[in-house]
Structure 1
Amino acid sequence: MIPQLPTDNLYKFMTLGGIVIIVFCLWLIRDNSDRLDQALIRYNEATGQYDVAVTNVEQQGDSLEKKLNETSTLIQEALKPENASNVAAAQRAIDAFAALNSEYEKAVAKREDAYKAKIAAKQQGFAFDRVLKRSEQDLLVARINLICGGVILLIGLGSWYLLHQRKQDRLLGLQVEAATNGLTEGKKSEMVENTSAQDDGASI
C-alpha cells in the first residue's frame, strides 16, 4: 500500500509544519538575494555617477587651464607698450577673461556635483554594507530553520508511517489473509459435500 500524507493524527501537523518552515526559509533566502541585488545595483549606479562627475571635473579642469593660458597670453599681449592704444587687443583680453570666468563657474558647479555624487556613493556603500551584514545573518537563520524544518518533516513522516500507517497496513493484511482463508475453507467444504453426494449417488 502506498503511504499517504496523514490527515487524522498528530503527525500531520508535524509534517505540515516542517513543510511550512522549509517553504518560508526558501522564500527568505530568495528575498535576501533580491534585496542584496537591489542594494548592489543602487551602489553601482551611485559609483557610476560619481565616476562620471569626476571625469567631468577633470575635463572642465583641462578646459579651465586652457582658457587660463589663453587669457594670460592675451593680457600679456595687451599690456605690451606697442599695444597700449590697441583697442582690439584689450577687447580680446576682456572677452578671454569673461570666458575664463564662465569656465570657472562651470568648474565650480561640476565640482559640487562631484562632491554630491561622492556623498551619495558613500551612503549607498554604507547601505550596501548594512544589507550585506543583515543578509548574512538572515541567511544563517534561514539555513538553521531549514535544517530544523527538514528534521521535523522527516520525524513527522517517519513517525506517521511507523506508528500509524504500518499498523493499518498490517491489520489490512491480516484481514485480507483471514478473508482468503475463509474463502479457501468454504471451497474445501463445498468440494467435500460434492464428493459425498457423488459417492451416495454411486452407491444407490
Structure 2
Amino acid sequence: MLLSDLSFYENGELLGLERSLAVVSDTPQTSSQWLLEWLCDKESLFVSFCRDKPKVAGEFLDLGEDLIRMSGPNFIKPDLKVVLAKIMAFNKRTVVLQYPTLLLMANLTDHAGLLNFIKSLLVKSRVVVAVQLSRPSIESQLPVSQEFTQFVTSLMHQASLILTIRPVPTGRADDITGILHVSAGSRSLGVPEREYMYTIGKHIELQPR
C-alpha cells in the first residue's frame, strides 16, 4: 500500500479531532521527517527546532536558528511566550513540532515548561510532536536526561495517537527501510494497534506486518 492509503483512526481520520495530541518517535538510526511531511496539509504549520527544512504543503517556521544560538559559551534562553505567540499567529489547524526536546537537551527550559508550551498550543490546534529516543538520552542519570525522560513519559500519557518509527530488528534490509508502529495513546479508544514495514524510494510503500 502507498502512504496515501494510510489512516490511523477507525473512522478514517489521520490525526483525530481538534485539540488532539499525536507523538511521533524515531531513533538515531531512523528518521520521521517523511511521516511528518506527509501529515502536513495546507492547514498545517511545520515548526523545526533543528534547522531541517521540510517539503510540506503548509507553512514552515524555522526556530532552530532563533532559539539555539550561542552567546559566548552559553545558550541564550528563549522566551517561550514569544515563541508561542509567533506560532499561534499562523492560526493553523495542525501544528507539527520537530524535536522540541532540543530545548531540554540544551537546558533552555525544563520538562514542565515544555509541556505547558504544548498544552497552550492545544487550545487552538491539533499538535504533532516529534521526539528522538536513544538509550543514552533515556538511561543516563544526568539531570538533562531525567528532564527528557519526564517530558517524554508525560507526553505519551497525554497523547491520543502514538507513532513509533524504528529500524528493522535484523539490521539492514535492502527492501525495507524501517518499521512504523501505530498505537493509541491513553486518551484515545479509536486507534487500532498495528504495524507496517515501510520502504522509502520513489514512493513510500507500506506493508502490514
Question: What is the TM-score with the length of structure 2 in the denominator?
Answer: 0.20
Instruction: Tell which has more relative contact order, 1 or 2 (C-alpha 8 A, sep 6+).
Output: 1
Question: What is the TM-score with the length of structure 1 in the denominator?
Answer: 0.20
Q: Which has the larger radius of gyration?
A: 1
Richer in strand (by share): 2
Richer in helix (by share): 1
